[in-house]
Structure 1
Amino acid sequence: MARLGDICIQITDGSHNPPMGVEQSNYLMLSSKNIDDDYITLNDPRYLSQEDFEAENRRTNIKPNDLLITIVGTIGRVAIVPNSLTEFCVQRSVAVLKPKPEIVYNRFLMHYLQSMRPYLEQESRGVAQKGIYLKQLSNLSIILPPLDEQRKIAAVLDKVSDLIAKRRQQLDKLDEMVKSRFIELFGDTPDNEKQTMADICKIITDGTHQPPKFTSTGVPFLFVSNIVTNEIHYDAEKFISEKTYAELTKRTPIAIGDILLSTVGSYGHPAIVKSDKPFCFQRHIAYLKPNADMVNSEYLRSAILSADVQRQIDERVKGIAQKTLNISEIRKLRLPVPPVDQQEQFAVFVAQTDKSKYRQEKCIGFFQCLEKSIRQEWL
């Protein structure tokens, strides 16, 4: 057993006062949104001048094979800096770890820290945005087998992680196939033939604006995080009573075929209500009740996910710190509304694709259980 601080040459966080960015350069400033497990994305980075980069990087001095771990907001995602990525620094939402190579194998440490995510989330502090302090990181206890055994454990976990990644790639391809089919069938509709969301929905509103009285058990109360995968997940952390549920659903009479749409933060994610399981939701989720005589729910979900409607959503969001899609703007969204029989044919194609997605998701679930059991046994 060893302290993380004792097996690392350095543990630092990123910039607390990021400098003003420039329009384009070779120098990047990344944040926690760019860090995924064993992967660093370059989506929407901040560009820095060479002078600002050099000033920021003096303290962290990030090099290939260092570890990056998210410590603010989404906590515990860990990735290794690849040889191909240089000349970047990070904001304070990311910590930089420099493992001592003679003591710890960096890929073993990456997997170990990923397995500690539930603990790190539990130990995080803060109100508006939770985080982990560097001192907490440094004091983490790490079980440290010999280096050759660390490499063997990491190799097995790498293989399982690779299998999960390949299955997720298949899911992404299936989603792209649905989007391509939508464009092929409905993408050439002239703008003057499109209809607004207000034309095809009986109700467009949002969830309750007043936080209800929560209970330890009861009817699930959903947040944006429950629908960001474009499906509804009922694994809620908060619940309401049957009485509160009855009061809240007077305004949002939830039924199978209705659509929820995220509107704050991670906005633009639609999910269809496919079960009669009772639930309620917060105001950061919009509620759409399609007119079944005009629009098929699965068609409407795919239309919202289409590049054209997503572009309209991006143009209509307001705010800087927390971007918001207002209900009034949702009503103005325009989309093609072909005859219902054509929509239903498209929905059949989506249903067939969903069967393939379900098989891939089952495989991912199996491999994730395997990964978890290996970590519990070895880490």
Structure 2
Amino acid sequence: MVSVEYKKLGDIATYINGYAFKPEQRGSEGLPIIRIQDLTGNAYDLGYYNGDYPKKVELNDGDVLISWSASLGVYLWNHGKALLNQHIFKVVFDKVEIDKFYFMYAVEYNLDKMSLKTHGATMKHITKKDFDNVVIPYPDLDYQKEVAYRLTSLKGIIEKYQKQLDLLDELVKARFVEMFGDPVINSCQFPVQPMTDICDIIDGDRGKNYPKSEEILDDGYCLFLNAKNVTQKGFDFENCNFITREKDDALRNGKLSRGDVVLTTRGTVGNLAYYSKNVPYENIRINSGMVILRMNRSILNEIYFIELFKMKLSDIKEKIASGSAQPQLPISTMNKIILMIPPLELQNQFASFVQEIDKSRSRIQKSLEASQELFDSLMQEYFG
């Protein structure tokens, strides 16, 4: 039995907030200024600073960083000397002896609970007081290292499975280009047709019978899709809503048939999901932020269409999507989307290739989910 005491984060280390560099202080030379978006992978305008700065905001490889505003996260910095912008803590381990990686996992586990205590109307953030008062288990150093080793090993396995899935996605894209060329410029000069000529675009019933919030259930006869169900990777049924059979009968348009493709048209535009025979729900309806695409199968294979649409998506968004506050893809403008139409036999060959890839993807996905479940269970065991 491991003996464990508990300590507040404020009693474990010193947390140094970054410096509020002003826009006029940013230039094209000097040390990079690191912001939250640079840690999360969403950087768009990396700034540099070539003047004097407080030495405490200087970053070096191996520093642990915690973003405490907007996007909560804990990160290990390994990209050379840099400067820390505001809304990020640099952790200085100067109060007690603690394994760096054990500390990071402990903070990661507590981020969800910390998010419930965020403040601010425009930019949610954690106060220093709330952060300092978070309590974590503090076993002896050898046990900390053992815990960190187990979790890091398991995270490495999870990352390996995710990389395999990413490589399969790249393989599908490469096969598509090999067979059909660049779909944006139609480099193989296949015949083209407007999207609305070769598939029916079916909107949902948005009239008086549209389900009210109290009519949305956790279980029921008909799955009523929400925005989280249609992702960049297809269907995700982790969080599902349902309506009764009576409500389903009262609605008109918007019910899926096998072989249909769902397309999100508001907010996150362009996510696609294929209602294949493998989807475990017999009754599914779309909500108001998506449409059903029902292909003319004598011209267009659904699986070919999905990959074609994904590869053209950036171009489609740039030319067609509307709405500044919430991007939209109105049905009335979908006739502007021009699709290349290779011979159906060629489309079917590509679809067969994708289906074989999907079998491998399914096996890897199950292994990934099992590993993630074990990781989450161990995090709960060690830090819950």
Matches of 1:247 and 1:61 in 2, distance apart?
63
* Residue 146 (structure 2) aligns with: 152
**Residue correspondence of structure 1 range 1-379 to structure 2 within 5 A:** 1-10=6-15, 12=17, 19=23, 27-32=32-37, 34-35=39-40, 41=41, 43-50=42-49, 61-71=58-68, 75=72, 77-82=73-78, 84-90=79-85, 92=87, 95-100=88-93, 102-123=96-117, 132-187=126-181, 189=186, 193-205=191-203, 208=206, 212-214=212-214, 215-218=216-219, 219-236=222-239, 238-248=241-251, 250-274=252-276, 275=279, 276-306=281-311, 308-318=312-322, 322-379=326-383
**TM-fit CA distance, 1:18:** 7.3
**TM-fit CA distance, 1:213:** 2.1
**TM-fit CA distance, 1:280:** 3.9
Q: What percentage of aligned pairs have identical amino acids?
A: 25
How big is each residue's C-alpha offset from its partner over 1:206-226, in whole Å with a ceiling of 9 and x where there is no partner?
Answer: 785977324442354433333
How big is each residue's C-alpha offset from its partner over 1:193-236, in whole Å with a ceiling of 9 and x where there is no partner?
Answer: 22222122111547859773244423544333332242211222
TM-score by length of 1: 0.80
Structure 2 counterpart of 1:301, which letter? I
SS at match of 1:271: strand
Structure 2 counterpart of 1:31, which letter? I
TM-score by length of 2: 0.79
Contact 1:69 1:79 in 2 (8 A): yes
**TM-fit CA distance, 1:153:** 1.3
**TM-fit CA distance, 1:125:** 6.3
* Residue 3 (structure 2) aligns with: none
How big is each residue's C-alpha offset from its partner over 1:136-187, in whole Å with a ceiling of 9 and x where there is no partner?
Answer: 3222111111223222211121111111111111111100000111111112
Change over 3 Å in CA distance of 1:58–1:364 after alignment to 2: same
Matches of 2:113 and 2:166 in 1, distance apart?
30
How many residues are paired up?
364
Matches of 1:328 and 1:273 in 2, distance apart?
24
Change over 3 Å in CA distance of 1:217–1:365 after alignment to 2: closer
State which structure, 1 or 2, has the greater radius of gyration over its C-alpha atoms: 2
Matches of 1:278 and 1:124 in 2, distance apart?
39
* Residue 38 (structure 1) aligns with: none
Matches of 2:205 and 2:131 in 1, distance apart?
38
**TM-fit CA distance, 1:65:** 3.3
SS at match of 1:46: coil
SS at match of 2:213: coil
How big is each residue's C-alpha offset from its partner over 1:279-323, in whole Å with a ceiling of 9 and x where there is no partner?
Answer: 4444333432222232121111111122x4433334433455654
**TM-fit CA distance, 1:128:** 8.2
SS at match of 1:144: strand
Unaligned runs of 5+ in 1: 36-40
Structure 2 counterpart of 1:47, which letter? L
Q: Which moved more, 1:26-35 or 1:291-300?
A: 26-35
